[in-house]
């Protein structure tokens, strides 16, 4: 099902007012399709995280609009937007944001718990998801006891458990060594990416650009170039 997963038009965000005002994202427009893995690259402070946040419904743009999976994200009310995030979007945060006091399984089950699934059903499904990312044997362990790569996979399992149409990774490999980063990315390409899903990845890591379908380069809040990735 190739088609527009994300349509952004003139997305603009600034912080502060007057002299202190910084323009973080300056009128960015682009389209991303289902079945596509899109990389967002650029120097620090170029606006990548800000852009990602506006697309995923966590940061309101000052101008412009974005339609994701058929929903005009910023015309929804707060509850609808929370549901949009819960049902359509999966997040893998840069430092994972796992709950250290919950077990790995409980961490993965959280989106289902928020969707009011029964506890035992959520746990069973979470264990299944952990199996997919190859961590079945670590199900009852606290995430703090896992290696960085393993934590990353737990975060991926948590993002995947709701079968989101849009998957967002912020610096997925920044804190991993080169080999682990590559292994994670191969896993994503083989098992996570499909024609019903669009994956958006923010990264500084040149070593993984080869996995991209397209690479969008940002500088000072503008998209300065869009290149076809090696994977396309």
Ligand X SMILES: Nc1ncnc2c1ncn2[C@@H]1O[C@H](COP(=O)(O)OP(=O)(O)OP(=O)(O)O)[C@@H](O)[C@H]1O
Other CB atoms within 10 Å distance of the CB of residue 157: 25
Per CB under 8 A, 122 contacts other proteins: yes
User: Taking the complex as a whole, how short is the minimal distance between the CB of residue 201 and ligand X, in angstroms?
Assistant: 13
The three-state DSSP-derived secondary structure of the chain is CCCEEEEEEEEEEEECCHHHCEEEEEEEEEEEECCCEEEEECCCCCCHHHHHHHHCCCCCCCEEEEEECCEEHHHCCHHHHHHHHHHHEEEECCCCCCCCCCCHHHHHHHHHHHCCCCHHHHHHHHHHHHHHCCCHHHCCCCHHHCCHHHHHHHHHHHHHCCCCCEEEEECCCCCCCHHHHHHHHHHHHHHHCCCCCEEEEECCCHHHHHHCCEEEEEECCEEEEEEECCCC
The answer to whether 29 contacts ligand X (rule: CB under 6 A) is no
22 lies in the site for ligand X, by CB under 6 A: yes
126 binds other proteins (CB under 8 A): no
Residue that has been written with the tokens 């994977």 in this structure:
231
N-term to C-term CA, the chain: 16
Does residue 49 interact with Mg ion by CB under 5 A? Answer: yes
The interface partner of residue 211, options being other proteins, ligand X, Mg ion, none and the CB cut-off 5 to 8 Å by kind, is none
- Does 48 bind ligand X (CB under 6 A)? Our answer is yes
Return the residue of 95, 131, 140, 179 that touches other proteins, per CB under 8 A. Answer: 95
Examine residue 118 and tell whether it contacts other proteins (CB under 8 A): yes
Please give the Cα distance from 122 to 170 (Å, whole number): 26
Measured from the CB atom, the residue of 146 and 168 that comes closer to other proteins is: 168
Binding to other proteins (CB under 8 A) within 161-180 occurs at 170
Please choose which of ligand X, Mg ion, other proteins, none residue 223 contacts, taking the beta carbon within 5 to 8 angstroms, the exact cut-off set by kind: none
46/107 with CB nearer ligand X: 46
Q: Give the binding range for ligand X (CB under 6 A) out of 2-10, 41-49, 111-119, 182-190.
A: 41-49
Number of chain residues interacting with other proteins (CB under 8 A): 36
Pick from 66, 89, 167, 185 the residue near other proteins by CB under 8 A: 89
The two structure tokens encoding residue 139: 């199900």
Give me the residues that bind other proteins (CB under 8 A), please: 49, 52-53, 56, 58-59, 78-79, 82-87, 89, 91, 93-95, 97, 99, 101-102, 106, 109-114, 116-119, 122, 170
Give me the residues that bind ligand X (CB under 6 A), please: 15-16, 22, 24, 42, 44-50
């Amino acid at each position: 099902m190739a088609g527009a997963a994300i349509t952004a038009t003139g997305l603009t965000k600034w912080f502060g007012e007057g002299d202190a005002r910084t323009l973080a994202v300056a009128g960015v427009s682009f389209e991303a399709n289902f079945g596509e893995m899109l990389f967002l690259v650029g120097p620090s402070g170029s606006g990548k995280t800000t852009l990602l946040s506006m697309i995923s419904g966590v940061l309101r743009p000052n101008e412009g609009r974005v339609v994701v999976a058929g929903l005009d994200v910023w015309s929804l009310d707060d509850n609808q937007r929370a549901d949009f995030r819960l049902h359509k979007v999966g997040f893998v945060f840069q430092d994972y944001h796992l709950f250290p006091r919950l077990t790995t399984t409980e961490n993965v089950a959280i989106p289902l718990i928020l969707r009011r699934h029964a506890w035992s059903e959520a746990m069973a499904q979470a264990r299944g998801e952990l199996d997919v990312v190859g961590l079945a044997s670590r199900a009852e362990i606290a995430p703090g006891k896992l290696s960085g790569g393993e934590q990353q996979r737990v975060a991926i399992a948590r993002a995947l458990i709701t079968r989101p149409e849009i998957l967002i990774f912020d610096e997925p490999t920044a804190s991993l060594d080169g080999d682990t980063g590559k292994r994670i990315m191969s896993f994503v390409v083989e098992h996570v990416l499909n024609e019903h899903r669009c994956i958006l990845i923010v990264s500084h890591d040149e070593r993984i650009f080869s996995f991209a379908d397209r690479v969008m380069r940002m500088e000072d809040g503008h998209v300065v170039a869009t290149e076809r990735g090696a994977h396309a």
